[in-house]
Structure 1
Amino acid sequence: MPYQTVFTEFCEHVKESISQGTFAKLTLAKTIGNTELKNIYVRLHILESGGYNFALTFRYNSHESEHFHSADEVFTVLSTYIKNPFTNALLFTTEMDLTFKVNKKSAGSLVEQAPTFKHASPPMLEMIKRGIIQL
């Protein structure tokens, strides 16, 4: 299956984990070749206005930089890094770990594993406590 279709499905799982209050962490990893950019870490960021957006931490060989994106734009931003240079995206939730993989033939796949984290991320728990996310 083309990786874009599978990545869209992966993004739906991310949105679902947030709406269910189970989101722990999201990471883009495993680069094609030796690149300056090593990982992108995605975490929730609570806004003073009561909503949330996403903080993306770009980890390079020599430094890190952080950028903030709305829920509407974060997946578009992340999709530009699939196959350029990342081949994997890992979603960690309290219910499961879900890995998106793209191979050399541009086919995408999802692999579900047992959860690594027992608790949702601190911002996720705070969003539930404040009523930003309704369970």
Structure 2
Amino acid sequence: MPYQDVFVLFWEQVKESFQEGNFAKLTMAKTIGKPNLRNIFVRPVYSEDDFKVLVKLRYRSKETEDEEMEIPLEEAFVFLKTHLRTSFSSVLLFTTAKDVTFKINKKGAGRITENSPTFTNVTKAKNDLE
């Protein structure tokens, strides 16, 4: 199955983990080539009236400062999708119920695997920009 379709299925599990309150962290890893962008991390940020995520871009070079942005979950989906297969070939979802890994192979097919959870509780993110 094309990776775009599999990523949509993967994202359904991300949304479900938010709704159930067990989303711990999401990490884009396995860079393609040697880009300056090393990782993208997504952590939950809960507020009184809304639910958002803190997206942190971590760079390899010390000259490039890490970036952070607080955005709604659906905007995070659009943002992360643009980095698939251009910068990253895997995305890891960590929840308190299970870990879910999305990977793209060299032929462009996507695959989802599940493992035992790494995290036992959810830690809310703090925005370093505030």
Give the TM-score, by structure 2 length.
0.88
Q: CA deviation at 1:72?
A: 2.5
Quote the Cα distance in structure 1 between the aligned partners of 2:28 and 2:83: 8
Q: After TM superposition, where is structure 1 displaced by more than 3 Å over at least 4 residues in a row?
A: none
The runs of 5 or more residues in structure 1 that have no matched partner are 124-135
Quote the Cα distance in structure 1 between the aligned partners of 2:18 and 2:72: 14
Quote the Cα distance in structure 1 between the aligned partners of 2:45 and 2:95: 16
Q: Which residue of 1 aligns with 2:84?
A: 82
Q: Which residue of 1 aligns with 2:18?
A: 18
* Paired residues of 1:87 and 1:101 also in contact (CA < 8 A): yes
Among 92, 112, 115, the residue aligned to 1:113: 115
How many residue pairs match? The answer is 122
**Percent of aligned positions that are identical:** 44
* Paired residues of 2:45 and 2:124 also in contact (CA < 8 A): no
Q: Which residue of 1 aligns with 2:8?
A: 8
Give the TM-score, by structure 1 length.
0.85
Which deviates further from its counterpart, 59-68 or 85-94?
59-68
RMSD: 1.2
Task: Give the partner amino acid of 2:50.
Answer: G
Quote the Cα distance in structure 2 between the aligned partners of 1:111 and 1:72: 22
* Paired residues of 2:102 and 2:113 also in contact (CA < 8 A): yes
Q: CA deviation at 1:73?
A: 1.5
